[in-house]
Amino acid sequence: MADLNVRSDSVDVEQIMRQIRARIREKRGVDYTEAEVQQLAGVKLEKFLDPRGVRSDLVEQFKKHRIVSPAPKNYEFEDTTLYETHRGLLRLARKLLNPILKLFFNPNKIVAALHIQAEVNAEYHRRFRQREELDPLFYEVIHNLVIECTRLGVEVHNLKMRVESLGSRLDFDERRGRSLESVVQYRRAAPNNERGQGEQRGPGEMRSPGEQRSPGEMRSPGEMRSPGEMRSPGEMRSPGEQRSPGEMRGPGDQRGPGEGGGRRRRRRRRRRPGQTMGDQQRGPGEMRGPAEMRGPGDARSSGDAGGPAESGDGDHSDSDHGAPDQ
């Protein structure tokens, strides 16, 4: 990932914006527009699994609005149906004249067709009723499916939010660390060493007050320090020496007001409202300009643990780590 890498002494807004856009492109992978991303997101989740659209009373609503359809009119059609009448004389006349009627067309075919149609109507009505009786079951199944889908959708949404949140936190920490490192690299070495003038060093480690180390400068074995490295017993500091928050202190070490002697605690550096990170990096009486920061190979990092002579309780795991805090 391309980190934001801007020199504080020559800021160019257009360059920063180019870096921001490059970082966005890298994050996104494919350079979708905002509208395209919105469209994709909308199609995948909200269209089908919008929890706001779920009706928890689906079955009740169905029952409320359920209308059982009345049976349609039907008829029975037999071979005598065409000639039926409640008037006996008329029925007799029709029977007598039936052979004459059959001279013109064949009514038996019509009678047969209508008979079949009546049976078909009855059969369909029976099946329709069966279907209506099954509908509540289908609704119940669909209702349960919708609830399950919605629950899953909400769960997926929540998980996605958590992943995004974790990702952004991780990104925040990583970039913040890197940008701080970048800022530190830009600072020129301080004219005065961060160590106190009267600081005692171990053999072979004595430097003049204005002495500086370049970031890549090699140290002698007794002099090399990495973050967390122990200090040799000969490296006692003077009482007035300024320390970074992460340094371990000895039992007789002077502490500022409010600092309990030998008390094990993890001190978190919290940024006060209105305080910049630059302010936070400085000690209370240590306000410096940006150009006065020391290089990483020179400044004692806050994770630079002191030796046993400075360590109050000897438990390094409980000392201040001085790691950048949120």
Partner 1 sequence: MKLAVVVQRYGADISGGAELHARYIAERLSRHAEVEVLTTCARDYITWKNELPAGTETVRNVRVRRFPVARPRDVDDFGRRSNTVFEQTHSIHDEIGWLESEGPASPALVRHIASVRDAFDFFVFFSYRYYHVWHGMREVPAKAVLVPTAERDPAVGLTIFGPLFRAARAVMFNSLEERALITGVSRREGPGVVVGVGSAIPDRTQPWRFRKKFNVKHPFAIYIGRIDANKGCAELFSFFERYAVMYPQGVDLVLVGSKVLPIPTHPRIRHVGFLSDEDKFDALAAADVLIMPSQYESLSMVALEAWALGKPVLANGRCDVLRGQCIRSNGGLYYESFEEFAEALYTLDATGPIGAVLGGNGQEFFRRHYTWPVIERKYTDMFDRLKREPATPAIDPLPGFFARRRRDRPPARQVVDALPSGPVVR
Binding site for partner 1 (CB under 8 A): 4, 6, 8, 11-14, 16-17, 20-21, 23-24, 27-28, 33-34, 161, 164-165, 168-169, 172, 175-176, 179-180, 182-183, 271, 273-278, 326
Give the count of alpha carbons within 13 A of 20, CB side only.
Answer: 6
Q: How far is the CB of 272 from partner 1 (least distance, A)?
A: 9
Q: How far is the CB of 33 from partner 1 (least distance, A)?
A: 8
Helix axis angle, 107-186 to 58-65, nearest 10°: 150
> Is 297 within 8 Å of 217 (Cβ atoms)?
yes
Question: 49 or 183, CB closer to partner 1?
Answer: 183
Question: 200 or 280, CB closer to partner 1?
Answer: 280
Question: 153 or 250, CB closer to partner 1?
Answer: 153
Of 70, 69, 66, nearest to 137 by C-alpha is 66
Q: How far is the CB of 159 from partner 1 (least distance, A)?
A: 13
Q: How far is the CB of 165 from partner 1 (least distance, A)?
A: 6
Question: 4 or 92, CB closer to partner 1?
Answer: 4
Amino acid at 10: S
Q: How far is the CB of 56 from partner 1 (least distance, A)?
A: 24
Of 210, 180, 179, 178, nearest to 193 by C-alpha is 210
Distances (CA, A) of 139 to 58, 125, 127, 157, 245: 8, 21, 19, 26, 66
CB proximity list for 277: less than 8 A, separation 6 or greater:
180, 271
d(CA 70, CA 78): 25
Question: 241 or 292, CB closer to partner 1?
Answer: 292
Question: 177 or 210, CB closer to partner 1?
Answer: 177
Q: How far is the CB of 166 from partner 1 (least distance, A)?
A: 10
Largest Cα–Cα separation, the chain? 145
Question: 27 or 268, CB closer to partner 1?
Answer: 27
By CB atoms closer than 10 A (0-12, 13-18, 19+), residue 184 is middle
